[in-house]
Chain A
């Protein structure tokens, strides 16, 4: 008799939808159906039952092929690598539970690792900006209940956060927003006429790489100062008009994405967007929020925050202090500069998402990759250790893009004998202790 699991959390993006309904076979082994999820979320749950899933660790041999090894062999190899290496990059964490991260940090502190998460190539710029100027923000429910001006700047939820617009930002009716979409004015600022732009009441096409100048123009206009005729391809009349409209908002919100974090100026683009938001609070209520990508990249920042005081790129390599300097202790820079001796990747795929030059350097070092599935990184690693899918085959805490913590749910059993991230890291930690006790380092 198949059963339905309700209130399931979707472990894909930072929207962390928590209303999925999953139909599970009576033996708890297979997912039969997914309700309420977006196309991507549904695909993730469906992937669980795809054939050809790797169920045991694999080690690369001299001829480049991979042979199956036992978890114990893989754990021992990994622990030895960590203990031997003077400086190890421990990157990923965005797709696992906060509980697993804690164990990973304990290991890093013992072996001298540098713990970095996927923010490093995603919203790291936003974190730098917040470190510099703070951030006035709110929870997504506030947007749903109060917002009457919504700006999407350099983000494309229609593609990257498919249910964001219906759950929180454009269409939902809330306590003070009974008219839903009709009661909101939606702006979209982008260099492309995206599918999100098509949902907006007004699309402002900015020349690629001119966001900083345009945001500066918005701030200048807000103070009633003169502007050049056009800024970033936008006529000054339009800029004055929009700024005046924003001032009359009851509650405004700016959502921004990698259109700001990845383009020229990076953190400065967010920095000045935050300052525009701050300025708007002199006239009305305004908030700003990063459209965080991975479902638990925010959680990694939180756990690193309370344990070491930095949100990512935390350098524990000295073992007696925690340090943080984006540009030095960030993954891509560490790989570019050849600053680490070994790589430990977990719950991520830098092979697909880092620039190739960084991965070429990475592939020359001892590398262990922990991931439920085969990906571009596992195939350039010495060892691939498969684990249960967090949020599908095991639960654990995750943080939404607005930092709201939600406990993900287990809906089906992992394949027979497969370890979870927590179990695997605990075993590696124990092995590391044994080696260190023997004077390994």
Chain B
């Protein structure tokens, strides 16, 4: 099934992401903290998924696989959040409106179910994009 929904994406700090950063970019803590997307339950329904399902998130900048989760920091329906990190930045548009600041918050993304797709590691996802992984 190719059910797709469009959401407004923001990428923000979380304390788990902070702890993960300091534990090391290659640490499990960092991976667990940053490879998730906070979604509103209603949007999960629309998409037809349970929480903790992998999804493919696509923006004009690119595409990334993360795990859809519910959050205690409530979102309004239509708003989604991926913690800052290399996964979020696979889809953050680099355009800065000549201010130096990319579009980290408030850009449209398409979300689709990707149940069986693998989530890449922190180093892997950057090296992959940069074509540095010998296949």
A262 touching B104 by the CB < 8 A rule? yes
With both beta carbons as reference points, the residue of chain B lying nearest to A47 in the complex is identified as B22
Give min CB distance, B57 to chain A, whole Å. 13
* 0/1 interface trace, chain A 99-139, chain B, CB 8 Å (1 if under): 00000000000000000000011001100100000000000
Residues from chain A with a CB closer than 8 A to the CB of B23 are 43, 47, 50
A192: contacting residue among B75, B92, B94, B96, CB under 8 A: B75
CA distance A28 to B99 in the complex (A): 45
Tell me if A353 is interfacial: C-beta within 8 Å of chain B: yes
Tell me if B19 is interfacial: C-beta within 8 Å of chain A: yes
* Sample (14) of A-B pairs whose CB atoms are under 8 Å apart: A12-B18, A40-B21, A43-B18, A43-B22, A159-B14, A333-B96, A336-B95, A351-B126, A355-B94, A356-B61, A359-B89, A363-B130, A373-B25, A375-B25
Give min CB distance, A260 to chain B, whole Å. 10
A259: contacting residue among B74, B84, B100, B105, CB under 8 A: B105
Q: Which residues, 323 to 359 on A, are CB-close (under 8 Å) to B?
A: 326-328, 330-333, 336, 349, 351-359
A63 touching B134 by the CB < 8 A rule? yes
A40 touching B18 by the CB < 8 A rule? yes
B99 touching A354 by the CB < 8 A rule? no
* 0/1 interface trace, chain A 260-300, chain B, CB 8 Å (1 if under): 01111011000000000000000000000000010000000
B100 touching A156 by the CB < 8 A rule? no
A208 touching B12 by the CB < 8 A rule? no
A330: contacting residue among B11, B79, B96, B127, CB under 8 A: B96
CA distance A169 to B127 in the complex (A): 41
With both beta carbons as reference points, the residue of chain B lying nearest to A327 in the complex is identified as B98
Q: Which residues, 24 to 40 on B, are CB-close (under 8 Å) to A?
A: 24-26
B96 touching A376 by the CB < 8 A rule? no
Residues from chain A with a CB closer than 8 A to the CB of B75 are 192
Residues from chain B with a CB closer than 8 A to the CB of A293 are 13
Give min CB distance, B59 to chain A, whole Å. 10
B24 touching A47 by the CB < 8 A rule? yes
Residues from chain A with a CB closer than 8 A to the CB of B101 are 120-121, 124-125, 261-262, 266, 332
Give min CB distance, A87 to chain B, whole Å. 17
Tell me if A209 is interfacial: C-beta within 8 Å of chain B: yes
B100 touching A258 by the CB < 8 A rule? no
Residue numbers of A with Cβ under 8 A of B are 12-13, 39-40, 43-44, 47, 50, 63-64, 120-121, 124-125, 128, 156, 158-160, 162, 191-195, 205, 208-209, 258-259, 261-264, 266-267, 293, 313, 326-328, 330-333, 336, 349, 351-360, 363, 373-376, 379-380
Dominant secondary structure at the B interface? loop
B76 touching A326 by the CB < 8 A rule? no
Residue numbers of B with Cβ under 8 A of A are 8, 10-15, 18-19, 21-26, 61-62, 72-76, 79, 81, 84-86, 89-90, 92-106, 122-123, 126-127, 129-134
Residues from chain B with a CB closer than 8 A to the CB of A121 are 100-102, 104
CA distance A156 to B11 in the complex (A): 13
Question: Taking each of B79, B100, B129, B133, which has the highest tally of chain A beta carbons within 10 Å of its own beta carbon?
Answer: B100
Question: Taking each of A293, A355, A359, which has the highest tally of chain B beta carbons within 10 Å of its own beta carbon?
Answer: A355
A327 touching B99 by the CB < 8 A rule? yes
B25 touching A376 by the CB < 8 A rule? yes
B129 touching A359 by the CB < 8 A rule? yes
CA distance A358 to B25 in the complex (A): 19
With both beta carbons as reference points, the residue of chain A lying nearest to B100 in the complex is identified as A330
What 5 pairs between A and B have smallest CB-CB spacing?
A330-B100, A327-B98, A363-B130, A355-B94, A43-B22
CA distance A349 to B103 in the complex (A): 18
B99: contacting residue among A13, A128, A359, CB under 8 A: A128
Give min CB distance, A319 to chain B, whole Å. 23
A327 touching B24 by the CB < 8 A rule? no
A360 touching B18 by the CB < 8 A rule? no
CA distance A306 to B100 in the complex (A): 22
Give min CB distance, B103 to chain A, whole Å. 8
B15 touching A376 by the CB < 8 A rule? no
A380 touching B15 by the CB < 8 A rule? no
Residues from chain A with a CB closer than 8 A to the CB of B10 are 191-192, 208, 262-263
A380 touching B89 by the CB < 8 A rule? no
B106 touching A156 by the CB < 8 A rule? no
Residues from chain A with a CB closer than 8 A to the CB of B122 are 352, 376
CA distance A12 to B131 in the complex (A): 32
